Amino acid sequence: MVHEGRPYLWGMPHRPSKLPHVGTTIFTIMSKLAAEHGALNLGQGFPGFSMDQRLCDLVHEQMRANRNQYAPMPGVPELRLLLSNKMKAAYGYSYDPESEITITAGGTQAIFTIITALVHAGDEVLSFAPAYDCYAPAVELQGGTMKWVNLRYPDYHIDWQAVRAQITSRTRMIIINTPHNPTGMCMTADDMLELQAIAEAHDLLVLSDEVYEHIVFDGGRHESVVRYPDLAKRSLIVYSFGKTFHNTGWKMGYVCAPAELTAEVRKVHQYNVFSVNTPVQYALAEYMSDAKTYADISEMYEAKRDVFVRALEGSRFGLKPAAGAYFQLLDYSAISQEGDVEFAKRLTQEKKITGIPCSVFFPDLQDDKVLRFCFAKHDDELLRAAEILQSI
Ligand SMILES: Cc1ncc(COP(=O)(O)O)c(C=O)c1O
């Protein structure tokens, strides 16, 4: 609603929206367009195949065993203990399950809760564009300011000199995301050392969005901040069971952070959701007690990436195979010079294939003529998508 050029809320004409720039997201727009035109939708970032039915059965069992009341505020102890052991086994760092691990309603709630708890009005928060879309609104709602460092096509490597140049006495937090949505970029050990040096020099907190930790390709190692103990001391790491177990609709995740930071996060968490789904937490604890349940996820997604990338060989789209996460970027600059939003819409309308234009992940709408396609789909869908893209 716009009143005299300014957005306002019903009955509150003198109160502007707290998020005046937030409107319908491109994901909603493209999905609607895809449905209208009967297009194959590789825009939506979620698995198109089923999760393991055994995990569903375990949830049913927990429900029938009457584990249906409120869980403890930070999460059920069995799951927190399991996650503590998992972190130790994977990264060699011990998080105390009592005071350093909190189960959340997915990665998004974790991110919002962390930012609400730790960012004060007037603080600056630095992050990298293109970026997942939930960081900035959370910072702005706290009266903080986002500072962006744009990553450059095609590698999207971080320019640490540019990061240093953006830091001021007000900078409070850096938000990183590795493996990265939408580019598939994975931060390296050198990146982590740079980050550690900067965070220490300026006494910064690090919010590390690692929801794709189990989706890293070509034998690469996931460089979690937790591998760097001096970095781990000032970091809050966000994970999502939905990304790992192909059940994004369950909205289950967790945060690992040192006790003093966790205490602050829990102050907000307890008045936000208080606690999250009880039977699912018990079921996850039982399911994950067998580490094989999450051992082969990278291989499974790497095979899907390869199906898609190989089927695109010889097409007019340029690509660099994704290093992680489940998105493949395709560069259409050899086909058209039109803006990426227009190009994505035209592909949907005329060719019946939908991807997400990458400019929407940049606050300044940097347009590299690149679309994002999600390859967490059945192989036959990927082959069908590639066939259409080959014809363009
Ligand atoms: C980079 C990134 N962070 C966080 C999330 C949110 O995770 P969840 O679905 O568990 O809220 C997503 C989901 O797409 C994501 O891509």
Tell me: the pLDDT tens digits for 331-347? Answer: 999 999 999 999 999 99
| 280, 355 Cβ separation under 8 angstroms | no
Q: Model's pTM, two decimal places?
A: 0.96
pLDDT tens digit at each of 392 positions of the chain = 444 445 555 556 667 889 988 888 899 999 999 999 999 999 989 999 999 999 999 999 999 999 999 999 999 999 999 999 999 999 999 999 999 999 999 999 999 999 999 999 999 999 999 999 999 999 999 999 999 999 999 999 999 999 999 999 999 999 999 999 999 999 999 999 999 999 999 999 999 999 999 999 999 999 999 999 999 999 999 999 999 999 999 999 999 999 999 999 999 999 999 999 999 999 999 999 999 999 999 999 999 999 999 999 999 999 999 999 999 999 999 999 999 999 999 999 999 999 999 999 999 999 999 999 999 999 999 999 999 999 99
The residue whose CB lies within 8 Å of the most ligand 1 atoms, and thus the one to mutate among 108, 111, 254, is 108
Q: For residue range 155-177, list pLDDT tens digits in order.
A: 999 999 999 999 999 999 999 99
Q: Which atom of ligand 1 sits closest to the CA of residue 106?
A: 10
* Dihedral class, residue 23 (left if φ above 0, else alpha if ψ from -120 to 50, else beta): beta
C-beta 276 within 6 A of ligand 1: no
pLDDT for the residue 14: 66
C-beta 182 within 6 A of ligand 1: no
The residue whose CB lies within 8 Å of the most ligand 1 atoms, and thus the one to mutate among 115, 185, 240, is 240
Token pair in block for residue 300: 């499974």
Q: Which atom of ligand 1 sits closest to the CA of residue 209?
A: 3
Quick one: DSSP state of residue 293? G
pLDDT for the residue 94: 93
C-beta 107 within 6 A of ligand 1: yes
The DSSP line for 212-230 is TTT-B-TT-----GGGSHH
Distance from Cα 390 to the centre of ligand 1, integer Å? 30
Q: What is the Cα–Cα distance from 375 to 312, expressed in whole angstroms?
A: 13
Residue 379's closest CA among 292, 322, 310? 310
